[in-house]
């Protein structure tokens, strides 16, 4: 199965963050998610985090060079 997903430098719409969040919620194989250089703002980060609340397999998340502020951190 898919263990690494690189979405760096690819622009995502908010609805795609919702789908990604849903995937992370039920994920049993993905261990690495690279989302650097995406200009993600607070709302996208918060949506992504919702899916990671119950995720136990993701061990590496790269959010370097995004636009998250205090709320997203």
pLDDT in tens, the chain (73 residues): 889 999 887 778 888 888 999 999 998 999 999 988 877 778 888 888 888 898 999 999 998 887 776 666 6
Tokens of 50: 């919702």
In this structure, what are the phi and psi dihedrals at residue 61, rounded to the nearest 5 degrees?
-135, 120
Residues 6+ apart with CB under 8 A from 26: none
């Amino acid at each position: 199965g898919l263990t690494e997903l690189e979405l760096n430098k690819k622009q995502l719409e908010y609805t795609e963050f919702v789908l990604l969040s849903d995937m992370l919620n039920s994920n049993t194989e993905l261990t690495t998610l690279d989302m650097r250089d995406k200009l993600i703002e607070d709302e996208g980060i918060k949506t992504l985090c919702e899916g990671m609340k119950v995720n136990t397999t993701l061990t590496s998340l790269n959010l370097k060079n995004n636009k998250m502020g205090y709320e997203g951190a």
